[in-house]
Amino acid sequence: MRRAANISDVAREAGVSRAAVSKVIRDAYGVSDQMRVRVNDAIERLDYRPRVAARAMRGTTSTIGIELPDIGNPFFDKIIDGAAAAREGTGFQLIIAPAGRDVEEGRRAITALSDRQVDGIIAISPLVATEWLESLAQRVPIVMVGRHDNSLAYDTVTGDDIEGTRLVMDHLHRLGHRKIAHLTRSAEVTAFGSGTPHAVRLEEYERFMSQHGLEGVSRVIRSGPTEDESRGAVAEILTGPDFPTAIFAGNDAMALGALRALATNGPSDASVSVAGYDNITIAGHPAVSLTSVDQSGFAMGEHAVELLLSRLAGRTEALHITTAPRLYPRNSTRPPAGNSSEGV
């Protein structure tokens, strides 16, 4: 394997001093046009690339790092698309560090980005401690996407999960549903007061049920993040008696799993309504037609990059941006069987 050209090789090739090459690269004063042409020619001939590591030592890389949990969730792809669009033309490169699902994984991926000296980090709702993020934020700007943190040290971009949950619950309740179950992630992900999107949605679900005198029929179904895990979780309750007439899933991936379970193990076709959250592309497909809440993932990604850029430009006070949710009612939600009128 050939060694990459270094600055000394370029100096030798151009027949100038190492300092002169360095001056040309840094675009410093006092370089003649002739010298510049000569050095640039040599750089091209040798395919010399000023090493990022060397530049990182001087603190000048231009990279935004995104910590991404749960690869394969199409909602996160929207956030990344938004981030990619916002950095177009800024000269910033985007790199993504995938993380597995547990706490340690998120911390490991964020640390890996910090170790690689990115200029800013977008963390997508990991379970890492806020204190740890705050201490890291003293060295590198951080934007938390998804989790409702009221930090003074870093910025956040969140959806209005309270409003979004009310939109879904109101919709199901007006259709006449009372036995509404909530399909959500593990107790660790929804820890009370943790501010994760799933925690806020669960709290609001419970508040809605009790406000409508429905505590007695409220039911929480726990699942991992994948479609297959939620299919299994819903298939299991379908074997028991007294299943719900509607399922509000904490995100579309889990809603798709619920639909999969209903299609294969369901009591009868189309008798259980399912609503999701995120409005991923497939939700709008006529064959799927999943009722869902759109929380503008693309705009969230754009906001996150803009916040990092304004931090890098000198802003020091924390900003917290929230996007407004919108409900898309589709065929997956209908009045419950034996109740064709719209309940009040």
Q: How many helices (H) and strands (E) does the chain have?
A: 12, 12
Q: Does 57 sit near another protein (CB under 8 A)?
A: yes
Cα angle 198-234-174, degrees, rounded to a multiple of 5: 65
The window from 6-14, 43-51, 171-179, 233-241 that contacts another protein (CB under 8 A) reads: 43-51
Q: Does 101 sit near another protein (CB under 8 A)?
A: no
- Between 74 and 329, CB nearer to another protein: 74
Strand partners, 209: none
- Between 221 and 259, CB nearer to another protein: 259
Q: How far is CA 320 from CA 93, 144, 210, 308, in A?
A: 24, 9, 30, 12
**Nearest distance in Å: CB 71, another protein:** 5
- Between 245 and 332, CB nearer to another protein: 332
- Between 105 and 206, CB nearer to another protein: 105
Strand partners, 220: 182
The window from 19-27, 113-121, 144-152, 316-324 that contacts another protein (CB under 8 A) reads: 113-121
Cα 297 from Cα 295, distance rounded (Å): 6
- Between 9 and 81, CB nearer to another protein: 81
Q: How far is CA 265 from CA 24, 208, 257, in A?
A: 69, 29, 12
Please check whether residue 200 is in contact with residue 165, taking contact to mean a CB–CB distance below 8 angstroms.
yes
Cα 313 from Cα 316, distance rounded (Å): 9
Question: In the numeric block, which tokens belong to residue 139?
Answer: 């060295």
**Nearest distance in Å: CB 230, another protein:** 12
Q: Does 288 sit near another protein (CB under 8 A)?
A: yes
Interface with another protein (CB under 8 A)? 1-4, 47, 49, 51-54, 56-57, 63, 71-72, 74, 77, 80-81, 84-85, 88, 93-98, 100, 108-109, 111-112, 115-117, 135, 138-139, 227, 256, 259-260, 263-264, 281-282, 285-288
